[in-house]
Structure 1
């Protein structure tokens, strides 16, 4: 019986040796082929590692840009709400300018201070006002609401501004609503 156990163990050893992937004897051609395979695998691994590193760099740059944009433009909705308040103060100022009463002089002064203070606060957050006249009409930042025909004013110039436009970090929040000049001779 002990002999059968011994034979069983020998049989297992032989089966393991026969089924193993380690060759019993390696010739030179096999060795060269194995070295080529190792070099090829090493090159593939190096190539894949470089691709992964490049992809990680791209993801990192994209994430940094996204974070920067979130920081720059996170206040956009809030600033638009503030702009509507400033618009109302500007309308109130225009209305009170029509009265020549001394009581309105103090109101005008206070309204101007509020508007100036509000615009300075917005300027600290990267907001710039589009309110220049006598500049060339730019459809990227202006919205033409009327055309003023004239022979004395150059073509395609901003004549007046009905409502200021605003940029947030060089991105348009709201276009300026303007009146544009047109040469009278060309329309006849």
Structure 2
């Protein structure tokens, strides 16, 4: 009995020693072989995609591409719209600035001309108050003064015309509220309603812009 037990223990020791010294490469090779076999087996078990599945996959890809194309077109349209708006705004600003510069050149003397209107009124009043019958060789001083006033008034009107300043004297013209200011109304025989019959003070305009409206009386 003791001999049998000893034989069994010896056999076990031999098995352990064989396992301990078993080449590792053989074990690794076996493991790799098993893994490749399992992979090939799993691949072989999966069926290839059908035509319907390929069509569905292709349609999904086409739909995705179409969505991207639509998004890009929308972005492009939005950018083009902003670009056109920016160009239009720039052009409008350029035109406004050009007009402002032109108006500044034309109407820059507006305040100065308006101040000179009082001088023109005084000269006109002075020439009107001089008695015409007294202007003769017997009164050389009065004649010289009158001629000097007339020449000064004529020169001033020439300067006014040079800068676009024109008088508005609308006698017997239709009343225009844009250029005239009515002080009174009166009945005048032979005149239709709305006709300027009296000009109390002439007006002036600077390049079609009213600098001072004419003070008038209108028929009714």
Same-fold call, TM > 0.5? yes
The within-5 A match list for 1:74-113 is 74-97=108-131, 100-101=134-135, 102=139, 103-113=141-151
Match of 2:181? 143
How big is the alpha-carbon RMSD for the aligned residues of Structure 1 and Structure 2?
Answer: 2.3
What is the TM-score of this pair, normalised by structure 2?
0.62
Aligned length: 156
Partner of 2:134, secondary structure, is coil
Higher RCO (C-alpha 8 Å, min separation 6) = 1
CA distance in 1: counterparts of 2:159 and 2:93, whole angstroms:
35
Match of 1:44? 78
CA distance in 2: counterparts of 1:71 and 1:133, whole angstroms:
32
Contact (CA 8 Å) 1:97, 1:108: kept in 2 or not? no
CA distance in 1: counterparts of 2:207 and 2:153, whole angstroms:
20
Identify unmatched segments of 5+ residues in structure 1. 1-26, 183-188
Match of 2:164 among 112, 126, 148: 126
Deviates more, 1:72-81 or 1:101-110: 101-110
CA distance in 2: counterparts of 1:97 and 1:68, whole angstroms:
45
Q: CA deviation at 1:159?
A: 2.2
| Structure having the larger proportion of residues in helix | 2
Bigger radius of gyration: 2
Match of 2:154 among 116, 125, 135: 116
Identify unmatched segments of 5+ residues in structure 2. 1-59
CA distance in 2: counterparts of 1:122 and 1:153, whole angstroms:
33
